[in-house]
Every structure is written in C-alpha cells, then in structure tokens.
Amino acid sequence: MKNSVLLWSFGMLCLLLCVSCESGKEKDPVEERVSRLLSQMTLEEKLGQMEQITGGGYADYIVNQIKGGGIGSILNEVNPEVINRLQKTAVEESRLGIPILFGRDVIHGFKTIFPVPLGQAASWNPQLVEAGARVSAVEASSAGIRWTFAPMLDIGRDQRWGRIVEGFGEDPLLTSALGCAMVKGLQGERLNDPSSVAACVKHFAGYGAAEGGRDYNTAVISEEQLRNVYLPPFKAAIDAGAATLMVSFNEINGIPNSGNRYLLQDILRKEWQFNGVIVSDWNSIGEMVSHGYAESLADAAEKALLAGVDMDMENHVYRQHLTSPVKSGKVKEAVIDEAVRRILRLKIQLGLFENPYTPTEQPVFYTKESLDKAKKVAVESAVLLKNENNLLPLNNTIKSIAVIGPMADAPHDQLGTWVFDGEKAHTVTPLATLREEYGSTLKINYAPGLNFSRDKDKKQFAQAIAAAKASDVVLFFAGEEAILSGEAHSRADISLPGAQKELLTEVAQTGKPVVLIVIAGRTTEIYEQLPLVNAYLFSFHPGTMGGPALVDLIFGKAVPSGKLPVTYPKMVGQSPIYYNHKNTGRPPAGKIETIDEIPLEAGQVSLGNTSHYLDAGKDPLFPFGYGLSYTTFQYDDLKLSAQEIGKNEQLLASCTVTNTGTVEGAEIVQLYIRDWAGSVTRPVKELKAFDKISLKPGESATVSFILTADDLKFWNNKNQQLLETGDFTLWIGPNSAEGLEGRFRTKN
C-alpha cells in the first residue's frame, strides 16, 4: 500500500480514536454537563467556584459576591432559612445559577451527639459508626448542610496531641475500617439523596505525626512509615468512595501539604486516581508563607493550585491572586478548569442543581431512634480497665452511692470537642440518670468536690469526703472539659487537670470502694491514682447519651465491650507510644531495673543495655486493644490452614472463643502478625483483622480469619510494595499483648 494511503488511514484511525475517546468522556452526561457549564464561565466565575467563605447570615457582602458568581461554598451557615435565601440568590440572581455547597464540621453528630471519634473507635464496631454517621447526615442535611469535614483519618500515637480525640486511634487497619464506615454513613447509598452529605477525609497527611504532639507542628516521616502507617486509611476511604479530601496544615519532610505535589499529584491523583475535590484547611494555603515555603500569598496560591488544591477554605488567595498569573499565561487556565470541573461535578452528583433548596418543614432532631443509637454507641465505646473483686457491676447490696467529681453532671463537657450544633440542654448526664433511674431505690449523695475539670478550689472537698463516708460506694467522675482536647489543644501534662488528683486521693483515704469513671478526650495519665481505686471505667467524651450509657454499664444493664484504640501510657513521658513499633537492636526484655533499684554510687553500667525508661520501664499502662468485660473469654485451638503461603495464596486462621463467665458479653477478637525480617524493618506486631462476637455464658464460637498474601505486603523506602519470603508469627487474642500463637512462612 502506498505511504500516502497508509498515512491517511493512520490519520483517520487517530481521528476516530480521538472522537471516540472524546465522545466516550463526553458521553458521560455529568461530564457533558460540566463541560457545557465550564465553557460559559468567565475566569472570575471559575475562581468564584474555588472560593469557600465562612457564613455571615444574609449579609450584603456575601449576597453581592454570590450575585457575581464569586462564591462556590459557604461553611458554618446552619440556619436553613438563611441557606435557602442565599441559595435562591445564587440560583436565580447569578449569571449561571450555579448552586452553593454548604459545609459544616459534623465530626461526631449534628444535634444528637455521638461519642467523639476516638470513643467510637473503642467500640471496634464499623456498623455502629456507620449508623451514627447516618443519623448525623440526616440531621445535618435537614438544616441544609450537604458537605462535612469528616472523617478524620489521622493516625495518632501521642496522647499529648489535642486532635488524637478526633481520629480513630493508632492503628491503620482499625482507622481504615471505621473511616470507611463513617464515609458510608455520611454519603448514604447515593450522593444525590437529599439526606446524603459529602464526606471529606482529612487531614492529608501525617498530621498526627506532629513533633511533640504539638498541633500543626512539623512531621518528619519516612517513605515506608508514610506508606505503611499514615496513608492506608485515606486510600481505603477513597476506594470506599469518599467524595472529597482536605489537606493538612503541617509539612512533611519540609514540604507543607497544601503545596505538596508528591502527595497530591503523584500519589493522590495519579497513583490512587482520586478525582474528587481537594479543599485546603482553613487558611492553610496562605500559611505556606509562614512555613517558609512560599514567598508571598500569590506564590502560595500558585503552589497550592499546581499541587492540586481545588478549593480555598476561607483564605481568599485564589480569588485575589490567580487572575494575573492566568492572564499572563504563567498559570494555564486549563489547571483552573480542572479544579472547577471537580467542584461542579460534586455539585451535580449531590443533586444540587435539581434540588438546591432545603425542605423547610421543621427538621427532626433528637428522635428516640437517634438517641437510642447514640446511647448504644456510648455503651460500646466505654472501656473497662480495672475491676478489682468484680466490684462492678454494682449489685443490690449497695444502698447508697456517693457521686463525686466535676464530670458527673457536666452537660456541655460530656459532649466533647468539635460540637457546634449539639445542645447541652439535651445532654443526659450520669447524675441525672442516677437520680432518674435509681433515686427511689438508692440514697444518692452528690457532692462534686470540684465544679469543673480545671478547678483548683478545694473548698468543696469536705462535702465530698462526707458524702463518701456516708455511702457504700463512690462513683468518682473525673476527666477533662471538652475544650482540653481538639484542635490547638495539646497538653504537655496529660494527668487529671485541676485538683482532681488531690480530691480522688482524699476520697480514697475514706476507705470506701471507689469506681473511677474518666470522661476525657485522651487517655489521661492515671498511673499514680490507679492503685487508689477498685474499678476504672474509661469513656472518651460519650456525647448526648453518655449518662444513660455509663449508668447502665455501672449497674450491669449493659456489659462493657470496648477496647483501647490507642496504647494507654503510664506517664506522658512515654509518648509517642504505640503497639506497632519497631523492635530496635536492643529491645527491652524481662525485668527492667527501675530507677530506685540502682545502687548508690553505681559504677558506669548500661542498665540492661535495652531501650526503656528508668522511671517507666518498657510497657504502657494498658496495651492497644485492651478492655475488660463482666464476663471472661477463653481462647483455644488455634488452627492455621497452611504453614506456607505464596503470592496470590491465603491461609485460614481460626480459633475457638468461649464465654467462661456468668453473663453474656461481646468480645473483640484480634488477629496480629509479625514479619520477623524484611528489606526494611517491620513492626513487632500489626493488626490484620478483628471481629466482634457476642457469646452467652458457656457458649463457644469458632472465629475465622482469611489472611491473604496481600495482607503481608509492605512498602519500602523506594515506593515499592513488596511481599517477601520469610517467617511470620500470628496471634489471635483479646488484645495486642496476648493471644494464641502460630507460625507460618511466605514462599516464592
């Protein structure tokens, strides 16, 4: 065939291919609609879609910007009438009528407040987390909110960090499972359902690795730690359909994440194929100047845009600084178009063009069904950490109880951090519940001793001591006010604030049995107080129904099943502390010589030659995954279906769990592995599966897990995910520190 004909044929083939792929892309009605709209937009209108401002009612400055097409999203406006008025202005009075996307932080509830996320994590119950998120989405969307900045998927290993409360703890697998559940609950079956709220996984990435647990601080993270620990929950949630993502304030290895092309372009957009909206955190674009990464706000705007941040939260640098570089050709308008395309696509997917308005019938908040769900989550989120002589549950020999401590009747603080719309008037406190449910059968001697968690005034101590002396048992509700955790609320001393330690000591000195209930946003340091109490129940700020939940647990109407989603340190000096740590060349083993055992004038000696603390030893107070019940469980008969597995193979691991106690209870069965040697060092343990089962007294169940070769892969520092041959140990047990042990190998 002559060359010219060949060339012609090749050209036609290319043309046909282009047309087909173009038509393939345009065949998608959503994309077609986006392209049509985009083609009509001015640069000013495009930059307007990339602008998110905070609400301010129906103020002229907002209305005028809306009319000019200058606002894409408004956060923190929650009055449905105002939302509808603003939306009507956008739809009917702006040139293109593009609806506004209204956003709000609905972190653990809108009106009905669920336990803080770290508390929900203690339930190890994805179904419950999903149910709670669904309630939150129904309530928030009824007020006009269709975008929320949750779930937070930041791995937290440092109890000093205020925001550890907002995530699901220290483990990538548990965080992934619960993050996906929250995304599902928020987004529902389809985004264009009026009750669906677009999720926003945050803060991408490595925010929890802030140096010293100081919020917003520097994170230095190796590639293998980034890939093996900090990124997996985001990948899982994006694979589960999370519609949007928020970048974090911090830098990783010298690059602030608002301008981190490696994270946002190479990994998120290219490798993970995430095509959802990326929003900055509040002012985080402009903060690249403070970081020392951008020379000006204009430079910061360009860096963020080119990195892939689509929407500017409340910084206004996109609208103020992107017009001239686009006009000058320094920044291609096509980059702006891609960002706007993602924003318009989200609004179409949410059905905002067809249903821009919020139904104005009275929203339904705090339904019995919602409150019952909130109570159930609070019950399963509580963790029983000590129960000497089975003091709990209290039985009918108890005729009088002393209710002491600043958290017994703290309706605002019981709700926890990141509560904008929940109302303390709806909070049911432990004291209110005790009076309601037991006031007629028990003598309730209430004497708080302190008025709030930071209270240092001891003038009420005498009444508290007297109440203890006059009672059969003391219920001591200690903890942290809500404001002592959350954003920008890190603590260097994580012990009980105020004079709580002194009050607890004096109450314990009465000799009465003490049940300590801590309600806080982090595992508070309790090492010195623990010996003073007979039982210890921990509740991460349990929300609206925390009172009924805790009282049911105290009196045995419910059985504790929660397990720690974070390692509980003896003292703050051990932080960061986490179970899936590396072994080091000198791992602590056996007895550790403590600081007081060192002889005077001891000659120079490297004590034990291992990595530990003289004054805190090597172990935490309680390990990750730990929690007691009112019954006991026995693990037997570990079976592995294979001693070796190669790639694309799997093994079945099973064991028998028996309820060896006298009451029905739920047990969170956990499977861990250890890879003994790798081309990069591997953690001493990694959670690879878990299952929550309920067993009646005497009942047994076989719990089985499938472990695939993919579950054994890990990332090295060269961005390679590997399955290497070698020896593994596997445990199935009740927490990260114990379990039935088995061994297997991976083979080529």
Cα 330 to chain centroid distance, Å, stands at 39
Q: Which is nearer to ligand GLC, 91 or 199 (CB)?
A: 199
Closest CB 281 distance from ligand GLC, rounded Å: 5
Closest CB 149 distance from ligand GLC, rounded Å: 3
Give me the 143-182 binding string for ligand GLC, x by CB under 6 A, dash otherwise.
------x---------------------------------
Closest CB 695 distance from ligand GLC, rounded Å: 39
Residue 281 designated active-site: yes
Phi then psi for residue 152, to 5 deg, are -85, 125
Q: Which of 281, 312, 552, 711 is catalytic?
A: 281
Residue type, 373: K
Tokens of 588: 């602590």
Binding to ligand GLC in span 678-737, by CB under 6 A: none
Q: Which residues contact 179 (CB under 8 A, 6 or more apart)?
A: 151, 153, 168, 201, 233, 236, 237, 240
Cα 357 to chain centroid distance, Å, stands at 31
Binding to ligand GLC in span 586-645, by CB under 6 A: none
**Does residue 471 contact residue 401 with C-beta atoms inside 8 Å?**
yes
Question: In sequence order, what E strands does 81-230 have?
Answer: 101-104, 147-148, 200-204
Interface size with ligand GLC, residues (CB under 6 A): 6
Alpha-carbon distances of 601 from 173, 608, 615, 673, rounded to whole Å:
48, 17, 18, 44
Q: Which is nearer to ligand GLC, 251 or 675 (CB)?
A: 251
Selected binder of ligand GLC within 114, 282, 536, 538 (CB under 6 A) = 282
Closest CB 134 distance from ligand GLC, rounded Å: 20
Alpha-carbon distances of 16 from 11, 12, 635, rounded to whole Å:
9, 6, 64
Q: Which is nearer to ligand GLC, 58 or 216 (CB)?
A: 216
Q: Which residues contact 496 (CB under 8 A, 6 or more apart)?
A: 453, 478, 479, 480, 504, 518, 524, 525, 526, 529
Phi then psi for residue 459, to 5 deg, are -65, -20
Give me the 471-510 binding string for ligand GLC, x by CB under 6 A, dash otherwise.
----------------x-----------------------
Q: Which is nearer to ligand GLC, 105 or 481 (CB)?
A: 105
Closest CB 54 distance from ligand GLC, rounded Å: 8
Closest CB 487 distance from ligand GLC, rounded Å: 5
Q: Which is nearer to ligand GLC, 139 or 281 (CB)?
A: 281
**Does residue 512 contact residue 474 with C-beta atoms inside 8 Å?**
yes
Of 502, 498, 418, 408, the closest CA to residue 447 belongs to 408
Spatial distance between the Cα atoms of 311 and 52, rounded to a whole number of angstroms: 7
Listing DSSP states for 688-738 in one string gives EEEEEEEE-TT-EEEEEEEEEGGGG-EE-TTS-EE---EEEEEEEEEETTE
DSSP letter at 354 equals T
For residue 443, with 0-12 CB atoms within 10 Å meaning exposed, 13-18 middle and 19 or more buried, which class applies?
middle
Q: Which is nearer to ligand GLC, 197 or 730 (CB)?
A: 197
Of 386, 683, 372, the closest CA to residue 564 belongs to 386
234 binds ligand GLC (CB under 6 A): no
287 binds ligand GLC (CB under 6 A): no
**Does residue 126 contact residue 380 with C-beta atoms inside 8 Å?**
no
How many helices and strands in the chain, by DSSP H and E?
A: 21, 26
Closest CB 454 distance from ligand GLC, rounded Å: 24
Count Cα atoms within 13 angstroms, Cβ side, for 198: 25
- Point out the residue whose Cβ comes nearest to ligand GLC: 149
Binding to ligand GLC in span 533-562, by CB under 6 A: none
Binding to ligand GLC in span 396-415, by CB under 6 A: none
Binding to ligand GLC in span 11-70, by CB under 6 A: none
Q: Which is nearer to ligand GLC, 281 or 686 (CB)?
A: 281
Count Cα atoms within 13 angstroms, Cβ side, for 258: 32
Selected binder of ligand GLC within 160, 202, 570, 685 (CB under 6 A) = 202
Phi then psi for residue 664, to 5 deg, are -70, 145
Q: Which is nearer to ligand GLC, 75 or 410 (CB)?
A: 75
Q: Which residues pair with 651 in a beta bridge?
A: 707
Other CB atoms within 10 A of residue 582 CB: 13
Closest CB 309 distance from ligand GLC, rounded Å: 14
Q: Which is nearer to ligand GLC, 281 or 525 (CB)?
A: 281
Closest CB 100 distance from ligand GLC, rounded Å: 16
CA dihedral 661, 666, 668, 669 (to 10 degrees): 60
Q: Which is nearer to ligand GLC, 158 or 281 (CB)?
A: 281
For residue 585, with 0-12 CB atoms within 10 Å meaning exposed, 13-18 middle and 19 or more buried, which class applies?
exposed
Spatial distance between the Cα atoms of 577 and 684, rounded to a whole number of angstroms: 13
Give me the 240-279 binding string for ligand GLC, x by CB under 6 A, dash otherwise.
----------------------------------------
Residue type, 736: S
281 binds ligand GLC (CB under 6 A): yes
Closest CB 202 distance from ligand GLC, rounded Å: 6
Closest CB 313 distance from ligand GLC, rounded Å: 7
Binding to ligand GLC in span 92-131, by CB under 6 A: 105
Tokens of 578: 């986490």
Closest CB 279 distance from ligand GLC, rounded Å: 9
CA dihedral 282, 284, 289, 290 (to 10 degrees): 80
Q: Which is nearer to ligand GLC, 244 or 631 (CB)?
A: 244
Q: Which is nearer to ligand GLC, 73 or 89 (CB)?
A: 73
**Which chain residues interact with ligand GLC by CB under 6 A?**
105, 149, 202, 281-282, 487
Which residues are part of the catalytic machinery?
Answer: 281
